[in-house]
Chain A
Amino acid sequence: MSAPNKNFDPVMPAALDPANLQVAVDAALVAIAAAADLAALKQARIDHAGDRSPLALANREIAALPPSAKAASGKAVGAARGQVNQALKAREADLKQAERERILTAERVDVTMLNDREPIGARHPIHTISEHIADAFVSIGYGVVEGPELESEWFNFDALNIDRDHPARTMQDTFFVGTPDSGAVLRTHTSPLQIRTMLNQQPPVYVVCPGRVYRTDELDATHTPVFHQVEGLAVDKGLSMVDLKSTLDWFASTMFGEGIVTRLRPSYFPFTEPSAEVDLECFACRGESVGDPDRSCRTCSSEGWIEWGGCGMVNPRVLQSCGIDPDVYTGFAFGMGIERTLMFRHGITDMRDLVEGDVRFTSAFGMDS
């Protein structure tokens, strides 16, 4: 530090010499650039921007200058200090960024390591496809109806025009409850839900009824005594077989793809008249495998059609048993096997897979089917 400048002939202190200021700045920039980490940068800050740094000392000399010289020198020192501070700030940001990156790199893990710590649930495809079907019909204004599996005989048979000695009654291999005369059975189809609905509700009736049903078949690759159906019922003024066919075609394309249609074959069910078997156009080959030995189709056995279910116009006797006037209302009904639908839709070859509850089977389906 020089002595106060008392004479009027101003003497420029060496520290304020522009060349020296430049030397100090250059030295600072070299030191800042050389700082390899935040600790080194801190030392560089002390050395070159601290209270005892050359630039700080130069700054003090300004106070001793005559007023006429202060402005120019102040500007020069300020510029020099600004240059150094800016370099410090930039370097600090760079070093902090590098430090973060070092830590993040060090924290790298092998994300491919198996992570099956917590169990993952799944739903049974019988139930998810039933909901899928119900949702489709809900979207066109149908209600969903479920009901008891242990059913009064009248609902399961008599009201559906299947009287006691009707061959269909023995055809269906019924589980009787208690004694054969108890008046109760395990429902052999979801059709008693038609009766329950129509007893409760005057037309218009539009419902879809998924549910579990029972027949005395032994379990094998294609049969199970406990299985599932979905039933549809519509009763309204002016419904005809055209509505039935149209609804089935819509159902087929909703479930199996745009343009997939159904085919009706005359058949017999006591509760519908006229009655038909419903065939589904093969969604896998769309009939292109028929008669083409090079394109055999496993889904439809190269038949082009898959047996899907039964349907028909609600027999007027059934409407009458529910107190609905068949001269005013007509209706249609249809029913499909859920297991059967799953089997051809998903290529399931053994019914037992659907029945046994092996978690490996269910887990593959996740939350949908």
Chain B
Amino acid sequence: MRAPLSWIKEYAALPEGVSARELADRLIAIGLEVETVEELGSAITGPLLVGRVTQIEELTEFKKPIRFCQVDLGDQTRGIICGATNFAEGDLIVAALPGSVLPGGFEISARKTYGHVSDGMICSGRELGINDEYDGILVLADGEVGQDARPILGLDDAVLDIAVTPDRGYCLSIRGIAREAALAYGVEFTDPASLVSQLPADGPQHPIDLRYGADRFTARALSGIDPGAASPDYMVRRLNQCGMRPVSLAVDITNYVMLELGQPLHAFDADKVQGAIQIRRPDSSEQLETLDHVKRILDPDDVVIADGSGAVALAGVMGGLTTEIDENSTNVVLEAAHFGAAQVAGTSRRHKLSSEASKRFERGVDSDLARIASDRAAALFAELAGARVDGLVDIDHRQPVTAISLPMDLPTRIVGVDIPADRARDILTRIGCTIDGDRVDVPSWRPDLTAPIDLVEEVARVVGYETIPSRGPAMGTGVGLSTQDRLLRQVRRRPAELGLVEVLSYPFLGASDLDALGLPDDDPRRTAVALANPLNDQQPLMRTTLLPGLLAIARRNVSRGSESLHLYEYGQVFRDLAEVSAPVAAAGSRPPEPVIQEMLSALPRQPEHLGLVLCGDWSQAGWWGAARPVDWSDAIRLAQAIANAVGVTLEVEPDVHAPWHPGRCARLSADGVVVGHAGELHPDVVSAYGLPARSAAAELDLSVVLGQAAPVVPAPEVSTFPVAKEDVALVVDEVTSAESLRRALADGGGELLESVRLFDVYSGPQVPEGKKSLAFALRMRATDRTLTDEDIATVRGAALASAGQLGAELRG
């Protein structure tokens, strides 16, 4: 809401000389969000005078009409060239004289043009930054020749732009803002509504049939309007200052009264309305073309104003084209009603149509205003357009507003500052409440005040938040991070410690992303929930895997010149559900337990995953030697190291799983529970994302990893006896996995076999076709003695026997 300072001052008796900036600060302190203060004349300097055109010489030798005008400025007459033609001799205009500067740094000087010296400029509204009119110059209705034009144009004024929060609908009017200004300064407020005289209701009426959607509806018939009557300067100026475009007198009056009082009004051309006006639900498939030239299919939950032809307006939101006022309209039906806030909000939301009217109804309009605003507008129609004020229909179905019982110690209890009951009562009286003991009746313009706590806020904001003192923080009763929190911190942090750089991607996907990963049709990662209103139609799905986001970020980094990348991300994925249907319980009391459970379980599973992508080299080339490219084993190694941060050991088995290379993919599990996959990416995926060949990746379900973490890690027994080392080289079938062989050796060797480590792999002419040789280092040790040669031979033999069951033979 844009509010001119001069208009506010009409109703709030602000102290002499209060600047717009000072007022803004005070309004902010009591709770209005003043976003900007615009000093209107600040971009104009130098002489800007009212002048009268005394003589016009039409210069006809040019391609466009040019006028050389004599302008009377009181003590002088100047010749000024002008390209506009919307004025005549005798008209009052605004002249910027040489030495003045107009908005945009436009300097005015005397210069020769079109064969004459132009000694200044006759200004248009646009050139002065008042409005967007550039078809012609400003012609003033009144003014004194030679006087400073600024006050007449409102250029000595300032406009406060206020973002009105949803609870303060009454501040979408000068009436409301002036009320707040008076409250902020503790000065007298003159309610503009109190200045309106009631007009008689009798006379010819337009019949009204109120069926639904409003608890108050007034319709005033007006006739004999002069269609040629123009809006007065003050009205045009204020509409402009408030950011509304002047249209025609009839429309301007309704907008002006709305700005002044806060009541939306609508003027129908009475001659276009067919029969009685109904306020009702739309019929099925009923349509309406609104004033913005959009044909709308009405929703059964909307409310329309209708006549014999059907819907003619969307109640509380926007009028329709068929009954629009035009330049020939002489008879008007003026609607001023009180529509339900939720009703209008619903219509506005469904039709994605927000208007000046809907903004006010949604936030709550003063239910007492309809008749007052109607009378105010009717009086303006009579005064400015010669209208005859005919009859009024006023249907009033309002229910009395329930009073609030306010324990007078509540403000002190909530604010924490001593606020005596008298003080609280005084403040509430000043905002318009009527008080009788603990009983508070709220004013008609404050439908937002429905509970004691709402009144506490009113008291608190007037007392001033700056009076609230500060001491130590409110101390909680907790005892540090939970085990789960600590473990999460470790796994989230470990990849960075291992050399990876953390990134965050948007969790949105398209089916094409899942295709690019090469996921089979029945892959669970294709079961994804879609957004109803995605930002990007190509990515309507919530991610089921972190990899597409990571790969896209890898590609972006590659395109920006990074060749080697080691990225990781952790975050939620959204799994196992494509359609969500959750109940929405009522608010105001705790829902029954089954309903809570139903609302929770309707959501997709949202485990936290951790993904990593490796591209290019792990270690770079340099003076130390060659680079070491990343490979499948890095992805597995890192995944294991990450799980190890919380003491979880990941077992590795070969697997075929998109988007990994089918021969270079590991399934990772902890205690038999699958945790994720790691390995080299499939070459098709690598090329789809434009990444370096042999890029590798891993993805882990952290919720599973954490589930496998022991709450207390059992300590190992560390033996101080000497170690015995034996190396064995075993020949096995090519397909036998190193891990299975390692496990066989370890299992066979038993407790005395401290560790088994693969240290070499060979396949070639030294071993038979289809075989490979795996060399393991065995370390043996007892916790209670030094091993004898016999012990060592026994352990070695047992390990080899166990390996033998996998067909392993000792290499000769």
Please, which residues of chain B bring their CB within 8 A of the CB of A276?
465
Instruction: Knowing A245-B470, A356-B556 are in contact, say whether A363-B501 is a contact too (CB < 8 A).
Output: yes
- Chain A CB count within 10 A is highest, among B473, B480, B482, B498, for B473
- Chain A CB count within 10 A is highest, among B28, B346, B417, B475, for B475
Cross-chain contact A241 with B416 (CB below 8 angstroms): yes
- Chain A CB count within 10 A is highest, among B363, B469, B479, B585, for B585
Cross-chain contact B501 with A122 (CB below 8 angstroms): yes
Does B214 count as interface, using CB distance less than 8 angstroms? no
Give the segment of A8-16, A85-93, A182-190 that binds chain B: A182-190
Closest A residue to B474 using CB positions: A243
Instruction: Knowing A118-B619, A199-B596 are in contact, say whether A165-B589 is a contact too (CB < 8 A).
Output: no
Which residues of chain B from 531 to 586 have a CB within 8 Å of any chain A CB? 531-535, 542, 553, 556-557, 560, 562, 564-567, 571-572, 574, 579-586
Give the segment of A48-56, A100-108, A265-273 that binds chain B: A265-273
Contact of B618 among A119, A177, A239, A250 (CB under 8 A): A119
Please, which residues of chain B bring their CB within 8 A of the CB of A206?
474-478
Cross-chain contact A177 with B453 (CB below 8 angstroms): no
Interface size on A, residues (CB 8 A): 106
Please, which residues of chain B bring their CB within 8 A of the CB of A126?
504
Contact of B363 among A167, A236, A261, A270 (CB under 8 A): A167
Please, which residues of chain A bring their CB within 8 A of the CB of B596?
199
Min distance, Cβ B31 to any Cβ of chain A, angstroms: 3
User: CA A321 – CA B585 in complex, angstroms?
Assistant: 10
Does B130 count as interface, using CB distance less than 8 angstroms? no
Does A231 count as interface, using CB distance less than 8 angstroms? no
Closest B residue to A314 using CB positions: B453
Min distance, Cβ B516 to any Cβ of chain A, angstroms: 18
Please, which residues of chain A bring their CB within 8 A of the CB of B476?
137, 140-143, 204, 206-207, 234
Cross-chain contact B589 with A170 (CB below 8 angstroms): no
Cross-chain contact A158 with B584 (CB below 8 angstroms): yes
Contact of A242 among B166, B469, B560, B590 (CB under 8 A): B469
Closest B residue to A155 using CB positions: B599
Min distance, Cβ B595 to any Cβ of chain A, angstroms: 9
Give the segment of B304-312, B379-387, B489-497, B712-720 that binds chain A: B489-497
Cross-chain contact A273 with B457 (CB below 8 angstroms): yes
Instruction: Knowing A148-B606, A177-B580 are in contact, say whether A241-B474 is a contact too (CB < 8 A).
Output: no
Please, which residues of chain B bring their CB within 8 A of the CB of A358?
556-557, 560
Instruction: Knowing A184-B582, A212-B571, A241-B460 are in contact, say whether A267-B31 is a contact too (CB < 8 A).
Output: yes
Min distance, Cβ A112 to any Cβ of chain B, angstroms: 11
Min distance, Cβ B176 to any Cβ of chain A, angstroms: 14
Cross-chain contact B557 with A357 (CB below 8 angstroms): yes
Closest A residue to B550 using CB positions: A357
Does A121 count as interface, using CB distance less than 8 angstroms? yes
Does B688 count as interface, using CB distance less than 8 angstroms? no
How many cross-chain pairs have Cβ atoms below 8 Å apart between A and B?
319
Cross-chain contact A180 with B587 (CB below 8 angstroms): no
Cross-chain contact A140 with B603 (CB below 8 angstroms): no
Does B200 count as interface, using CB distance less than 8 angstroms? no
Does A77 count as interface, using CB distance less than 8 angstroms? no
Min distance, Cβ A60 to any Cβ of chain B, angstroms: 50
Q: Please, what's the 1-or-0 string for A112-137, where 1 marks a CB less than 8 Å from any CB in chain B?
A: 01111111111110110001000001
Contact of A204 among B468, B477, B580 (CB under 8 A): B477
Does A72 count as interface, using CB distance less than 8 angstroms? no
Cross-chain contact B474 with A234 (CB below 8 angstroms): yes
Instruction: Knowing A246-B473, A266-B461 are in contact, say whether A226-B507 is a contact too (CB < 8 A).
Output: yes
Please, which residues of chain B bring their CB within 8 A of the CB of A317?
451, 587-588
Cross-chain contact B166 with A265 (CB below 8 angstroms): no
Cross-chain contact A359 with B474 (CB below 8 angstroms): no
Q: Is the interface of A mostly helix, strand, loop or mixed?
A: mixed
Does A176 count as interface, using CB distance less than 8 angstroms? yes
Does A161 count as interface, using CB distance less than 8 angstroms? yes
Cross-chain contact B507 with A149 (CB below 8 angstroms): yes
Contact of A246 among B414, B472, B501, B618 (CB under 8 A): B472
Cross-chain contact B581 with A131 (CB below 8 angstroms): no
Q: Please, what's the 1-or-0 string for B604-630, where 1 marks a CB less than 8 Å from any CB in chain A?
A: 101000000000001110111000000
Closest A residue to B607 using CB positions: A148
Does A153 count as interface, using CB distance less than 8 angstroms? yes
Closest B residue to A274 using CB positions: B457
Please, which residues of chain B bring their CB within 8 A of the CB of A277?
33
Please, which residues of chain A bring their CB within 8 A of the CB of B461?
266, 274
User: CA A142 – CA B167 in complex, angstroms?
Assistant: 32
Cross-chain contact A250 with B472 (CB below 8 angstroms): yes
Cross-chain contact B165 with A274 (CB below 8 angstroms): no
Closest B residue to A261 using CB positions: B470
Contact of A183 among B533, B584, B620 (CB under 8 A): B584
Cross-chain contact A141 with B532 (CB below 8 angstroms): no
Instruction: Knowing A151-B603, A246-B473 are in contact, say whether A141-B478 is a contact too (CB < 8 A).
Output: yes
Closest A residue to B417 using CB positions: A242
Instruction: Knowing A151-B603, A274-B460, A357-B556 are in contact, say whether A117-B622 is a contact too (CB < 8 A).
Output: yes
Please, which residues of chain A bring their CB within 8 A of the CB of B586?
158
Does A154 count as interface, using CB distance less than 8 angstroms? yes
Which residues of chain A from 239 to 279 have a CB within 8 Å of any chain B CB? 239-247, 249-251, 261, 263-268, 270, 273-277
User: CA A241 – CA B474 in complex, angstroms?
Assistant: 11
Cross-chain contact B622 with A267 (CB below 8 angstroms): no
Closest B residue to A200 using CB positions: B596
Closest A residue to B479 using CB positions: A141
Closest B residue to A228 using CB positions: B504
Cross-chain contact B603 with A150 (CB below 8 angstroms): yes
Does A367 count as interface, using CB distance less than 8 angstroms? yes
- What are the 7 tightest A-B residue pairs by CB atom distance, in nearest-first order? A206-B476, A240-B416, A141-B476, A323-B590, A266-B31, A183-B582, A242-B416
Known A265-B465, A266-B31, A266-B465; further 10 A-B contacts with Cβ < 8 A: A114-B622, A142-B476, A152-B599, A154-B587, A170-B345, A175-B534, A178-B580, A183-B582, A226-B506, A273-B457
